[in-house]
Structure 1
Amino acid sequence: MPRSLNHTLALLLASAWLMGTAGVAHAQASAPAAKPAAKPASAPAKKAAKPVKAPPPEVPLPAADADQLKAASMTHIGTYQCEFNQSVEVSANPKYEGYVDVAFKKLKFTMKPVLSSTGALRLEDVKGQTLMLQIAYKSMLMDVKVGQRLVDDCIHENQAAAKKAAEGQGSQGLMGN
């Protein structure tokens, strides 16, 4: 009798083990079928999440005072040819008088013109990311947060003409370089 009890117990354990592994095998076999169905359902959810990340609403800029308007009138509007065959485009901001837009590569910054005590014109990014310096014969665009130049030796046609006129007068000591 003990032998038949051992035999019965062994059969029960083997059956239980087979049922357990069969359940795992069944779950594993059905899992891949469930996963592909889940991927298409989750992929549109990710795509739908991107449009929700709209840019923050534009904060209205303060009205330009007389000093800013004067500085804006001194800003060279147009294309600046820069080092390494790059260019910067400066244009009047269409929404706010006394502000300019500076475009470099795929970046665009709204800038507030400010005259410095040295005579240089500073175009200060309203978001505090960049700064464009305009001096007599060249300009440069800087990333002030990183502390490095984005592009240098940018020359507007007015700066080139001023430099040529100064060289013609023999004023090479006042070139601003």
Structure 2
Amino acid sequence: MLFSTLRGSAAAALILCTALPALAEAPAAKAPAKATAKPAVKTARLAPAKKTPPPPAEPVLAAADETQIAASERAYLGDYACEFKESVHIDKHPKVAGYIDVAWKKQVFTMKPVLSSTGALRLEDVTGRTLMIQIANKSMLLDTKIGQRLLDDCIHPEQARLMAEAKAAKINDPEAEAAAEARNSLGITPTAGK
């Protein structure tokens, strides 16, 4: 009895395998001949034109308080030269006082300036996507969503001038440099081994 069931299943599988190619070709055979005879140019004209997506809506900016306006005055405006021959341009927001626009490649980020407790100036993207940090010797642009630096070693001409002055001061006053190193060290002086 088991043998007859297996033989019947094998026969059904064989019939199904031979019928599948015919079933696959059946819809193509039913298609009207006129559909394939249309010229390609005519169908190209009937295709809808691709529309460019509308630009993102400009974020609504709250009025800046005195602290934010003071922070915006500390931002270095203008062009920055960055690593890998990249550049970024920073300017005041054209419509709302106390905000900064950071232009990089074809993107413009509207930033809210915030002074940090360390003295660094944080330019926080109002959409929460990016962050630019300005410290004494460089600036960097970060993507906060993926946690990566987009730009590093960005130097404004004013930052370059301040670094040159600091370097010249160290060369001219080696005692001040030694005192600064002592203040920043752990207070451990290495000695030669016995």
TM range (shorter): 0.7 to 0.9
Say whether 1:40 aligns with 2:45: yes
CA contact (8 A) 2:143 2:149 kept: yes
Report the RMSD for the aligned CA atoms in angstroms.
2.3
Instruction: Give matches, 1:3-152, under 5 Å.
Output: 24=29, 27-34=31-38, 36=40, 37-41=42-46, 43=47, 45-47=48-50, 50-51=51-52, 53-152=53-152
**Aligned position for 2:164:** 164
How many residues are paired up? 146
| Counterparts of 1:86 and 1:58, CA distance in 2 | 26
TM superposition shift of 1:55: 3.0
| Counterparts of 1:121 and 1:91, CA distance in 2 | 15
Please, what TM-score do these two structures have when normalized by structure 1?
A: 0.74
| Counterparts of 1:114 and 1:106, CA distance in 2 | 25
Q: Deviations over 1:119-138 (max 9, x none)?
A: 00000111111100000010
Q: Sequence identity of aligned pairs in percent?
A: 52
| 3-state SS of paired residue (2:117) | coil
Q: Deviations over 1:60-112 (max 9, x none)?
A: 20011111001000000001111111111001110110111111112211111
| Counterparts of 1:99 and 1:34, CA distance in 2 | 58
| 3-state SS of paired residue (2:59) | coil
Query: Structure 2: where are the runs of 5+ without partners?
Result: 1-28, 171-175, 182-194
In proportion to residue count, which structure has more strand? 1
